[in-house]
Chains A and B, each alone.
Chain A
Amino acid sequence: MTETLKLRVERRDGLAIIYTEGYINNQGGEQIASAAYELLEEGYKRILLNLVGTKIVNSIGISILIEIIEKMLAIDGRLAFCCLTPTIHKTFHIMGLAQYAGIYDDEAAAVEALAAA
């Protein structure tokens, strides 16, 4: 009996935003990957992960996020993150995600950066 990650996807002019709420672990990471790959199949090459409702991510979740980043890079797409807690922000930097995916304080800044990419 575990709490599952809640996802919501918004599609806007070639940009898709995935909102998460809950724990990004193995299950949560798979949910995000599934949503991201579905968006890729739909033709969205710019995806923003808004983690406003997420306070925790573990190493399995991070490895899945890295896979998504790799997949995006392979097709010349862009993935960005926004609204991270300080702990997750620090974790992403230590794990090197920040080198290959933009990390923004708020959604507006992330959307602007992705739109300009």
Chain B
Amino acid sequence: MVSASEQIEAGSWRRLLPLTDGEGEEHALLSSLLDLWCRERGARGAALYLDDDDASGAELSSGEGPFPAGPDATAGFERLPLPGAVLLWRPGEAGAPRTEEGGGEGEGPLSLLLALAVSNCRLLGRLKRQSFQAKYRGVELEALYDVGLAIASTLDLDLLAEDILLRAVSLLDARRGALYLLSGGVYRLQSQLGGEALESFPATAAHETPSGLLPGAEHLLAVPIAIEDDRRGILAVGDKESRSGVGPFSPEDRRTLSLFANQAAIALENARLHREALEKERYERDLQLAAEIQRQILPKGVPSVPGYEIAGWNRPAREVGGDFYDLVPVPPEEQSGENDRGLLLGLALADVSGKGVPAALMVSTLHSAIRLLFGRIGFGPRLVERLNRHILASSAPNKFITLLVGELDAASGRFTYVNAGHNPGLVIRADSHLERLPPGGLPVGLLPGSSYRSGVLDLAPGDLLCLYSDGITECASRAEEEFGEGRLVALLRAAADRPLPEIVRAVEEATDDFAAGQPQGDDQTIVLLRRSAEA
């Protein structure tokens, strides 16, 4: 059986000839002339080998074969060169070839007609090849136009990169290709076709392309993808195909690929910006959701505890923050163990190291742990020790939480607390005397096995307790001076008789005035508790 390749090559003189009804007529004419030529010469058979610009040889035969594979002189065959072709023919039984009427050997009118028909076929073939090339130039222009259109329509970076590579490989008749995008000083493979490609390579000052970019490729053509002189990537193709194999790319190919890469650069940049915008939008959505979750964690109001006023306020420096406070009334029936205490109020105020999402995640962990544990072990040292173990086990190294927790026995006014590395709580006594709630241990999450001791504060009528985070006292002015504990104490003293919400607003306004428009550097939280004067 004749292979497909051989069949195609045998008919390659007609390759790209017109797909029209008239095209077959040229072939039929040539075939008829060859038959006639054989009869006239008394030849047993003849084969016509046409010179072909892009094929090794072609044949059209008449009569008894087989015929040699090529047009070289072969024993048993006579050889007649014609313009653009060679005729090999097998002489008839009589031996000596007969000459044509009206001409000498090889110069008769039939040979002339045959030569003319060959010439026509060659001209037709050339015309069709040029027609094919002209049409394919149309495909190239269309591809450039399409990539231009993609600037406005394709915003998916992965799809766009794949499309650009497909078109580049196709346009240049390359066997393979790869597209790289520059990110963080490294060219990273974005899309590949037709074989393996280097996954990544560092960008050098001269932006050289590694020779092994497409392993196994014999010929490589790579051009920069750049906007003006700003490199964004590399478009590379390998091994230009022809019917006979692969070869190098031409300077024209380089110009075409460069033109294509210029168009692609704009499209890719557009898609990259779109992806960044989408990611930012998604991140902001996530942050809004996280902020909403965090708002749910914070108390939605203040519990009612007879004989006391309570207020709480939190303002994160970013969408979400690392400060947290909680107010948990614990009626007698929910208290662990047997005791004769009345209503208890659990208080917690914490400040996670760092800000933003990581800190907010730790706040969430802390909130859950406190809520799960306090009912069984209360708000004393055992709670803080358990929290320390829990935070150490569940958070990244170097992350810790300063924390002040305690429980107020509403009836007696006794506030039993543990200060785990937090800035001291402040007590403004009814006579304006200041007391502090000093630390009784290290921040939680810092060291394993930390122990904590509790402190006791007895609140008398008119006493004001203030728990706060360092975002208040470390609020910075334009001169980089801190608001400081002194200003906070002065403010509390001055406003000690006012309703607690007013004191909170006064703190907020005072820190804002102090910052004078400077961005808030840290989360700010404050919890106020005042034993009513008439209690």
* Residues of A bordering B, CB below 8 Å: 1-3, 23, 25-26, 30, 33-34, 36-38, 41, 55-60, 62-64, 66-67, 69-71, 73-74, 87, 90-91, 94-96, 99-100
Chain A residue with the shortest CB-CB distance to B167: A87
Q: Mark B1-43, 1 if CB is under 8 A from A, else 0.
A: 1011101100100111101000010000000000000000000
Q: A70 to B15, alpha carbons, bound, how many Å?
A: 9
Residue B130 lies at the interface, judged by CB distance under 8 Å to chain A? no
State whether B175 touches A30 (Cβ < 8 A). no
9 A-B pairs with the lowest CB-CB distances in the bound complex, closest first: A34-B4, A33-B4, A100-B19, A58-B173, A56-B166, A26-B241, A1-B216, A1-B195, A2-B195
| Further contacts, 15 of them, CB under 8 A, given A58-B173, A66-B16 | A1-B195, A1-B215, A2-B175, A2-B194, A25-B241, A33-B4, A38-B4, A59-B136, A59-B173, A60-B242, A69-B19, A70-B17, A70-B19, A94-B135, A94-B142
Known A2-B176, A59-B173: A87·B146 in contact at CB below 8 Å: yes
* Residues of B bordering A, CB below 8 Å: 1, 3-5, 7-8, 11, 14-17, 19, 24, 132, 135-136, 138-139, 142-143, 146, 163, 166-167, 169-171, 173-176, 193-196, 215-216, 241-243
State whether A23 touches B193 (Cβ < 8 A). yes
| Neighbour of A3 across the interface among B132, B167, B195, CB < 8 A | B195
Write out the residue numbers on chain A whose beta carbons fall within 8 Å of the beta carbon of B138. 94
Write out the residue numbers on chain A whose beta carbons fall within 8 Å of the beta carbon of B170. 56-58
Q: A32 to B176, alpha carbons, bound, how many Å?
A: 19
Chain A residue with the shortest CB-CB distance to B128: A66
State whether A95 touches B132 (Cβ < 8 A). yes
Known A33-B8, A56-B169, A74-B24: A99·B19 in contact at CB below 8 Å: yes
> Can you show 21 pairs from A to B with CB atoms below 8 A apart?
A1-B216, A23-B193, A25-B241, A33-B5, A33-B7, A33-B8, A34-B4, A36-B4, A37-B4, A37-B7, A62-B136, A63-B16, A67-B15, A70-B11, A74-B24, A87-B143, A87-B146, A87-B163, A94-B138, A94-B139, A95-B139
State whether B4 touches A58 (Cβ < 8 A). no
Q: A67 to B146, alpha carbons, bound, how many Å?
A: 28
Write out the residue numbers on chain B whose beta carbons fall within 8 Å of the beta carbon of A99. 19
Write out the residue numbers on chain B whose beta carbons fall within 8 Å of the beta carbon of A25. 173, 175, 241
Write out the residue numbers on chain B whose beta carbons fall within 8 Å of the beta carbon of A33. 4-5, 7-8
B139 CB to closest chain A CB (Å) equals 5
Q: A95 to B143, alpha carbons, bound, how many Å?
A: 13
Write out the residue numbers on chain A whose beta carbons fall within 8 Å of the beta carbon of B132. 59, 63, 95
Q: A90 to B173, alpha carbons, bound, how many Å?
A: 17
Write out the residue numbers on chain B whose beta carbons fall within 8 Å of the beta carbon of A100. 19
| Neighbour of A91 across the interface among B24, B139, B163, B243, CB < 8 A | B139
B174 CB to closest chain A CB (Å) equals 8
Give the interface centre of B3, B5, B7, B139 by most chain A CB atoms within 10 Å.
Answer: B139
Write out the residue numbers on chain A whose beta carbons fall within 8 Å of the beta carbon of B17. 70
Write out the residue numbers on chain B whose beta carbons fall within 8 Å of the beta carbon of A58. 169-171, 173-174, 241
State whether A3 touches B194 (Cβ < 8 A). yes
State whether B195 touches A95 (Cβ < 8 A). no
Q: A96 to B174, alpha carbons, bound, how many Å?
A: 22
Q: A37 to B167, alpha carbons, bound, how many Å?
A: 29
Q: A41 to B7, alpha carbons, bound, how many Å?
A: 12
Q: A63 to B128, alpha carbons, bound, how many Å?
A: 11
State whether A87 touches B16 (Cβ < 8 A). no
